[in-house]
Amino acid sequence: MKLAMFGAGYVGLVTATCFAEMGNEVVCMDTDAAKVEALQQGRIPIYEPGLEDYVRRNLEENRLFFTTDLAEAVAHGLILLIAVGTPQDTDGSADLSAVLAVAREIGRHMNGYKVIVEKSTVPVGTALLVRQAVSEELRARGVEFEFDVVSNPEFLKEGTAVDDFMKPDRVVVGCDDVRVAELMKELYAPFVRTNHPIIIMDVVSAELTKYAANAFLATKISFINEIANICARTGADVDMVRRGIGSDPRIGNLFLFPGVGYGGSCFPKDMQALIHTARSRGYEPRILEAVEAVNLDQRRYFVEKVLDFFHGDVQDRVLAVWGLSFKPLTDDIREAPSLTIISRLLAAGARLQAYDPKAMPAVQAHLGEPPGLSYAPSGYAALQGAEALLIITEWTAFREPDFERMRSLMKNPVIFDGRNLYHPPKMAKLGFRYFPVGQKGE
C-alpha cells in the first residue's frame, strides 16, 4: 500500500519504518529539515534499539522515503497517517495545533480520495476537528474530494518500540465506515498473524481508549507508590507486598514497581488532557487527579529524603546521579523525574555529577551546564568523591555494579535508590547506607 506519515518522531519514525518493513511504500514527512536530512542518510536522531537497522534496510530497498515536502507526501499516500506531537497546552488540554496544521495542509494538497489516520494521541472530538479543517480547505479551493478520518491510537513503548509495533497486543481502529475498516484490517494483517485482535470501534471510543490505557497504567504506578509510602511508615516491605499482590492475575506483576514516579512524553500530558476533557464535560475525575498528585509528591519525597539525611544542608556537597532518561533504553527526557530532582538539588546548592548511558546529550541540550551540574563519562566516574549516589533510572548496567569499586570511589558509601535495584541486607553487608523506596534500608 502507499502510505504517508506526517511526523518523524518516536512514533512516526517507528511506525513508518515498520509499515515499510512489511512491504508498504512509505513517504515520511517532517518539518524539521535537519532531521529529514539525517534520516535520508540512514542516521536516526533518537536512541531506539533496533530501529536504525530497519531504517537503513528500508531506505536501501526503496520502500521508505523521507521528505520535508508535504505536497509530495499527500500525493503519494492513499492512507495519510498523522503522528505529530500533541504536547500539553497551558490549560492542561492537548495542543492540537500541529495535528490541525497537517490536516489543513492535506486539504490544500489532496487531489483524490484519502484515508486520514490519527496516530497521534488526541482527545475525543479531534476527528471532527480534522474533518472540519480539511473540508474548509477543500471549500476554499472550490474542489470536492471524499475522505475518511480514522482514529488509530498507538500503544508502542519507547525502548521496545519496534518490537511492540511489529507484534502488537492489539490494534485499535476507530472508524465509521465498513470499507475503511476493511482497508485498515488489510494494513495491519501482517502484524497480527498470531491472532492478536484488531478491535474495530467508533472513532470517539478509539480516541478515548488511548487515554484510558495510559490513565490505568499511571494509576498502577501511583497505587504502588502510595503503598510504598505506607510501607515506609509501617515497617512493611513494598517488595514483598508487590510480589504478594502481583501474582493475582487480576492485579498482575507488570507496572507495579515503586519509584520516583512516572514521567515521559505520554503519561503526564495524557493524564492532564484526560482530566481536562472530563472537567470540560462537567465531570470531576477524582481518581485521575489523585494519581497525578501522588506522582508529583513521589519526586518531592525523594528529594526530601536526601535533604533530611544531610540535615537540610547539601551546599557544596558532591552527589552522584545515575540515570537521566525518563526510563531505561531511551534517550527521551521529556518530563523525566531526573530533571525535577536535579533542579531542586541544584537550587539547594548541591554539586551534581550525573551519568546516563544515552540521555546526557538531551539533558545538556535542555539544561546546558548550570553551575553545580557536570556530566561524567561513566557511572563510576560520577561517583568520584561523592557523598551519596542517587539512582533515578533503572538502566540494566546499574543493576549489578562493582560495589567494592563504588565504595572506594565515594567519599561516603550512601545510596538513595529511587528504583529499588538492590537487596537491602546485602547492601548493609557491603557497608553501604542504603535508602530504597518503601523498604527498610539501613
- Summarize as ranges the residues that interact with ligand NAD (CB under 6 A): 6-12, 29-32, 35, 83-86, 98, 101-102, 120-121, 154, 156, 158, 265-266
Q: How far apart are the first and last CA of the chain?
A: 60
- Is 156 or 172 the residue whose CB approaches ligand NAD more closely? 156
328 contact partners, CB below 8 Å, separation of at least 6? 159, 393, 394, 395, 396
Which residue of this chain has its Cβ atom nearest to ligand NAD in the complex?
9
Would you say 35 or 242 has its CB closer to ligand NAD? 35
To the nearest whole angstrom, how small is the minimum distance from the Cβ of residue 9 to ligand NAD? 2
Whole-number minimum distance, CB 14 to ligand NAD, in Å? 8
Nearest-approach distance from CB 70 to ligand NAD, in angstroms: 7
Nearer to ligand NAD, 11 or 318 (CB): 11
- Choice between 261 and 413, CB closer to ligand NAD: 261
Cell numbers for 410, please give them. 565515594
Question: Using N-to-C axis directions, what is the helix angle for 203-234 and 286-309, rounded to 10°?
Answer: 40
- Could you tell me the smallest distance in angstroms from the CB atom of residue 97 to ligand NAD? 8
Q: Angle at the Cα of 23 (from 18 to 25), degrees rounded to 5?
A: 85
Q: How far is CA 248 from CA 244, 252, 256, in A?
A: 8, 6, 12
Q: How far is the CB of 421 from ligand NAD (least distance, A)?
A: 24
Catalytic residues: 266
Q: How far is the CB of 154 from ligand NAD (least distance, A)?
A: 4
Residue 1 C-alpha cell reads as: 500500500
Q: Are strands 2-6 and 198-201 parallel, antiparallel or unpaired?
A: unpaired
Between 158 and 356, CB nearer to ligand NAD? 158
Q: How many CB atoms lie within 10 A of CB 426?
A: 11
Closest contact distance (angstroms) between CB of 49 and ligand NAD is: 14
Do residues 437 and 425 touch, judged by C-beta distance below 8 A?
no
- Whichever of 266 and 373 has its CB closer to ligand NAD, that residue is 266
Laid out side by side, the sheet with 318-322 consists of 373-375, 351-355, 318-322, 388-391, 414-417, 433-435
Distances (CA, A) of 219 to 134, 289, 290, 369: 36, 10, 9, 35
Buried b (16+ CB within 10 A) or exposed e, 212-228: ebbbebbbbbbbbbbbb
**Which ranges constitute the DSSP H helices of 310-413?**
337-347, 360-367, 379-382, 403-409
Cα–Cα separations (whole angstroms), residue 436 to 187, 280, 314 = 46, 40, 20
CB of 83 or CB of 359, closer to ligand NAD: 83
Could you give the angle at which helices 126-141 and 203-234 cross, rounded to 10 degrees?
140
CA distances to 39, 84, 102, 141, 277 from 106, rounded to whole Å, are: 23, 14, 6, 12, 27
